[in-house]
Structure 1
């Protein structure tokens, strides 16, 4: 009964464990991964989870998560990173008064700063970072079998090394997730957008959510591409993720909208593409859930209108509102269909221009007071129009405070405003450009005038240069008054002060700007082509005391001198750049060096294939770089590529002896030697259990992991326990697998072998028990004690316990029944010193079996 109860408890534990993992996974409703560059070689990885905090069986977030980095080139695993839990915060509603108990979300952040060698992440196709988890919320309606459907978060990143230097980029940072619920037959809208730390362009689109690689275990190891999408439930698809009129959609700018027709919990996924210079460089995918409720019954939206003084027939849908310079540009904007207690919010949105319109409304927010059925607000068009030579369009929007999202109405106005007059400044012609020798100074005088007598300033700009003074460019104003400015442009080309090494020719923009009332930018930019002629300088030269391409084997030592010379007798610097790998990590030795006119350094590499990933790479290229330090720090260099092709023979797998299936007895000790061999010269071979987690649950099972050169043997020890058999079961079969593997290059090989053991009960051993019936405790060292263990005759030893019959005690008494010895230990020892010679009687008691007999003591 004890064993059966134990097995039942074990089964209940497994079920509880599965339920625990299931519930824990159901709490995750969305999230994404972020990859942020702190500086070249130092990066931050964030994994963000959004969790359902409304569940009654909620669990705490995991203490940490592990993300996996794969290469897009060949989908190999590059690295893994542990991210500890960092922060937990609430996601707030747009309108806190609209909160409901069934929608509470928290934001959980896991983060770590990691150091990555950019040159190791140089694959042109980039990399992807993954995290997986099982399972999704059981209440999701648009995914087939959500209980057994996992989730996968992925961020695609560009290479960290491009064009011989670190490539700086951070993935998009997505802003807040859905904090509100949607309602049946009501338009839902939100900006599901983000920002890019590098200023890259972001494009949004809906995609199918991703499934995990496996639903068991609860936290699977993320697998490389191809990614596995979820299966849509019947009637759902990417085009019909949330059914409605319209169904769920997202614009390329990130505006998410839907007018749902059925309630439910829906999962969806948004892909955010990152573009730079019209090239896609990365993407991040965010999963999330949308709750759609029925019976929300919001109030009717407000209704807006416009009243133009003196023009009662004005229709904003067809008419253009036109103002002369001297006109009063204010009109009434009125809001009707409002209720007492509502809060009305007003805002203006530019349509065909980008400019803030904060001062358009006289007020931007108002409560509806008792007796008030119309809200009237004054709107004044700007006296300085955002578009000077044509109409500008604005949307005047009034919204209420309805739940879950404000209801709104919009009036679109097309306006033409006559701008205040302004003439742009005139500027003295300075020619098309200038080229001068290094260390010369160029000085040019200029005059700028303004017909409107506006005050003036001179703006100087060089594309790509934040401060033109870095190139020795300076503007000095010698005379400044309304309508007039005089001054000089000076260019100092001393390369000992200013760096022209990478910018010998450039464009200089000069712009005289007037301070007119509307601050209209002067379009009349004067462009000058500027050039500096640097002193002549020859490039250094690199020479190798070796062939440029060689073949090497494991154990070879590659050693040669590298020489760099410079005919100008400049200081020359000699360095080494491994191409696509880390030289120090494979044992390469080369010291960077500097010298005047010439310099040399020793390259040395003892090829050790244990340090190499030969399955990935068998050709290693080393770039030697010589660069001189001339007066103007101009980049002059010579490079030589040294190539090593490795010739490493293939590795043969080790072998193991095969063993027949074996029968074991309960509680009977068993030993077996297990051997493995490797016939490749110099290989070590290791032997161990193949999968310890799948071994029989037995405390006595032991097999030591051992390693030997060419051959190894380890002993399996096992005394099978009754717990291995179910109640009433007489035998059971157990397969135990062993693993042998070598340490050779280029690819470690292995061999597996399994033995089936039948574990049987030992009832038959009780039938042959014949305990000895005499012993001589006379101190002569022969047969001086009486025991029933470790005797040379197996039939004389106590039978081993079996699952139903275990040893309890031995009792010895004299003819009168008086006890002279008793023990409950199987390994008892009686020395007989407390009794005289004679005949005594024993009882050996097991749970079910009993042995009686006599014992003669001779002294």
Structure 2
């Protein structure tokens, strides 16, 4: 339907011409772009997308890898070269596969590699650029000089990976998929070249002259890319960056959307360049370029389809765009009637509804979305109906709806659009109301910790819509204090729920709790709420500290630490009691500091109830207890309430040692049996205590000879058998203590 006989004759000739050129030049480049995406840490992925002429390009020109050079902007200093390995080979699809022609087919060759950009290297405020150079472009390109010897420099700019001492992460924008379509001479051609940015940066598009660079037929694939500047392709006479191909209008791109448009006036193959610059907070941080080609052919004449929209209730009167505003009211006809046709034979038409200033999800589906006209057995005109449901409501705004009919013309469909302005009213409805079923006689309601508050709340809707009740708090969330609404009953137009709150310690800080209950209904999914029902509850809290008493020394127990001493084997017992005026549950404990009660010969038992507690303590001193000294035990009485006021008594327990007489050793003996100083003894030595016991006594002569030894603390040395003179004694205890002295033996 769309291709003229002229096109059928021209395309084989064009294919023959391209085929004759291919062996000599091996031209194959359609275009392409670079892409740099952040991965993690300092790792990025660099990708080259090279678009390859699948009809005229030699398969021998498909490289297994590509070499990218990274340079510092401003200085053009080479930082590193990166080998990009082949990672993909696929065809670029047509927008409408039915429009495919045998002389136009494009492959997308992908080359990619991971690389590391360390902060210590890539920190120049000038930023950096990446380049890949390759030759050659299609030899039959019509808008540049000597195209078969023209190469392409794939070019990308990116910022430093650190800024102001902080990591600066950025991924370059990705331009939307390239086109495999062709343009028809004299017809408007459009295509979306817009992109997306992973970082949410602002994107701006403009037309640029493609870069030629240093590659040529003599050196189609340089070993490494050279640094900038790169030469540009040379436009043929009358063409330039702003006029890259003959057309009215010439080829251009929307700076914000990236939409390409052109109405070409001359047959041929045209190369063009697009730049996508990215901005963050108003500052340019990078750019990527794409070169591509557009083939302009002669197409069979295609007429624009026609759309007529008839308003509800107007019979045959068509809607007049720009003049009429429709008003859709409840209980009345709310349907638009569409009639669309196409003068061309066997034309396939498709209807699309596109919301302009309201959510697309609100647009109802038409009864017929596509069909064929002017074919055997097919009608000349198709009809469809768009009915807005009763619940559709524009809330007083004027909504705009584009009703579009498009044919299946090649290379792109023709469209007719009718923009419908309308308002829509939903069915009348009253908001719900809310009230307490049995309101208390006095507000605020007073409560104490432990009280259970239960109040029934009723939501009513006179339109019999389903009602829900919602509980909120002023300055707090009900769940944070344990309050909730519990469903009681629900029928159309009426719902009852119960505010249930067991007051606990979470409520004492705020004191006054103002609960808000709202009734909500959603007729036609349009949420309506009632005024707030306020339920104020004042939580009262006070605590009297408990009283702890015992028979340690006195009552009440003094605040200071008391000291309790007992001899080995003497049993110490004590009783403790606690009382609480608020009748809070009481807990009594005995906590040793750094030892266990059992190891020290201690035991404690206690019980507590509401308002009272009692405890019993016992200690049997032992040598094991003496090893654990100092022994401190904290006796505590704690009231189980929101803000406890515990009471304590600290006791230090000590094992009482035997009294030691003053150590006065004898220093002379006269072993002459006169019953006076006849022997040497040490009766005033410190007494034995647990592991601190007398071990031995040794007596030496002045020359160090041992003359006497005994393990008995009650020893008696009579000096017999030794010469008159001075002797030395050494007394040792099991705990390492020593006592030394002299004793003189006289006749």
Give the alignment's TM-score, normalised by structure 2. 0.55
Tell me which residue corresponds to 1:505: none
CA distance in 2, matches of 1:324, 1:52: 58
In 1, the alpha carbon distance for the partners of 2:35 and 2:55 equals 26
CA pair 236-354 structure 1, distance change in 2 beyond 3 A: farther
Closer, same or farther: CA 152–521 of 1 in aligned 2, 3 Å: farther
CA distance in 1, matches of 2:40, 2:458: 44
**2:148 maps to what in 1?**
147
Match of 1:286 among 287, 290, 307: 290
Residue 82 (str. 1) matches residue 105 (str. 2): no
Change in Cα spacing, 1:326 to 1:151, as seen in structure 2 (3 Å) is same
Q: CA deviation at 1:67?
A: 1.1
Instruction: Provide the secondary structure at the position in 2 that maps to 1:211.
Output: coil
Structure 2 residue aligned with 1:178:
179
- Answer yes or no: is 1:343 the counterpart of 2:348: yes
- Following TM superposition, by how much is the alpha carbon of 1:393 offset from its aligned partner in structure 2, in angstroms? 1.0
SS in 1 for 2:107: strand
Taking the aligned partners of 2:88 and 2:345, their CA distance within structure 1 comes to: 42
Work out whether 1:328 is the aligned partner of 2:347. no
Per-residue CA deviation, residues 802-838 of structure 1 (Å, 9 max, x unaligned), is xxxxxxxxxxxxxxxxxxxxxxxxxxxxxxxxxxxxx
Cα distance, 1:76 vs. partner? 1.9
Q: CA 1:143–1:300 in structure 2 vs 1: closer, same or farther (change >3 Å)?
A: same
Aligned with 2:468 (options 455, 459, 469)? 455
Deviation at 1:146, TM superposition (A): 1.9
Q: How far, CA to CA, are the matches of 2:385 and 2:356 in structure 1?
A: 20
For residue 333 of structure 1, report the CA deviation from its aligned partner: 0.7
Asked if 1 retains the 8 angstrom alpha-carbon contact of 2:72 and 2:129, the reply is yes
Alpha-carbon distance in structure 2 between the residues aligned to 1:234 and 1:63: 37
Conserved 8 A contact 1:43-1:116: yes
Aligned to 2:423: 416
Distance in 2 (alpha carbons) for counterparts of 1:197 and 1:523: 40
Q: TM-score, normalised by structure 1?
A: 0.48
Kindly state the Cα deviation for residue 86 of structure 1 after the two structures are TM-superposed: 0.9
Aligned residue in 2 for 1:259: 263
Partner of 1:832: none
CA contact (8 A) 1:23 1:57 kept: no
Change (3 A) 1:310 1:520: closer
**Residue 42 of structure 1 pairs with residue 26 of structure 2:** no
The answer to whether residue 276 in structure 2 is matched with residue 276 in structure 1 is: no
Partner Cα separation in structure 2 for residue 511 and residue 74 of structure 1: 69
Whether the 8 Å CA contact 2:22–2:56 is kept in 1: the answer is no
Please give the alpha-carbon distance, in whole angstroms, between the structure 1 residues aligned to 2:485 and 2:343. 63
Name 1:70's counterpart in structure 2.
71
Q: What are the equivalent positions in structure 2 for 1:91-106 lying under 5 Å apart?
A: 91-106=92-107
Q: Which has the larger radius of gyration?
A: 2
Q: 1:521 Cα shift?
A: 7.8
1:573-595 deviation line (CA, Å, top 9, x unaligned): xxxxxxxxxxxxxxxxxxxxxxx
Give the secondary structure class of the aligned counterpart of 1:406: coil
- The one-character-per-residue Cα deviations of 1:608-630 (angstroms, maximum 9, x if unpaired) are xxxxxxxxxxxxxxxxxxxxxxx
- What is the Cα-based RMSD across aligned positions, in Å? 4.1
Give, in whole Å, the separation in 2 of the partners of 1:22 and 1:81.
31
What is the CA–CA distance in structure 1 between the aligned matches of 2:188 and 2:431, rounded to whole Å?
A: 49
Partner residue of 2:309? 306
Q: Which runs of 5+ in 1 are unaligned?
A: 1-18, 429-446, 461-468, 494-509, 527-859
Shift of 1:386: 7.8
Is 1:244 aligned to 2:247, yes or no? Answer: yes
Q: Distance in 2 between matches of 1:520 and 1:475?
A: 31
State the partner residue of 1:224. Answer: 227
Alpha-carbon spacing, 1:427–1:396, altered in 2? closer, same or farther (3 Å): same
Q: How many residues are aligned here?
A: 462
Which residue of 500, 516, 526 corresponds with 2:522?
Answer: 516
Give the 5 Å matches for 1:432-471. 454-455=467-468
After TM superposition, give the deviation of residue 413 of structure 1 in Å. 0.8
| Aligned 8 A contact 2:158 2:172 in 1 | yes
The SS at the match of 1:199 is coil
Shift in alpha-carbon separation, 1:114–1:191, aligned structure 2, 3 A: same
CA deviations on 1:193-227 (whole Å, 9 max, x unpaired) are 22222333333222221121353522244333444
State the shift of 1:424 in Å.
Answer: 8.7
1:23 deviates by 3.4
Give the 3 Å change call, closer, same or farther, for CA 200–350 of structure 1 in structure 2. farther
Q: Are the structure 2 counterparts of residues 245 and 124 from structure 1 closer, same or farther at C-alpha, using a change threshold of 3 Å?
A: same
Q: Offset at 1:175?
A: 2.3
Instruction: Note if 1:208 corresponds to 2:213.
Output: no
CA displacement 1:710-765 (0-9 Å, x = unmatched): xxxxxxxxxxxxxxxxxxxxxxxxxxxxxxxxxxxxxxxxxxxxxxxxxxxxxxxx
Which residue does 1:352 correspond to in 2? 357
Structure-to-structure mapping, 1:425-504, within 5 angstroms: 454-455=467-468, 477-479=484-486
**Matching residue within 228, 232, 236 for 1:233:** 236
The DSSP-based 3-state class of the residue aligned with 1:413 is strand
CA distance in 1, matches of 2:239, 2:469: 64
Tell me which of the two structures has the higher relative contact order, counting C-alpha pairs closer than 8 angstroms and 6 or more residues apart.
2
Pair 1:322–1:89, CA change in 2 (3 A): same
Alpha-carbon distance, 1:186 to partner: 0.9
Structure 2 regions of 5+ residues with no counterpart? 1-20, 436-456, 507-515, 533-747
Verify the 8 A CA contact 2:467 2:520 in the aligned structure 1.
yes
Hey, what's the Cα distance between the residues in 2 that align with 1:224 and 1:484?
78
Give the deviation of 1:487 after TM superposition: 9.6
- C-alpha change, 1:379 and 1:80, in structure 2 (3 Å) is same
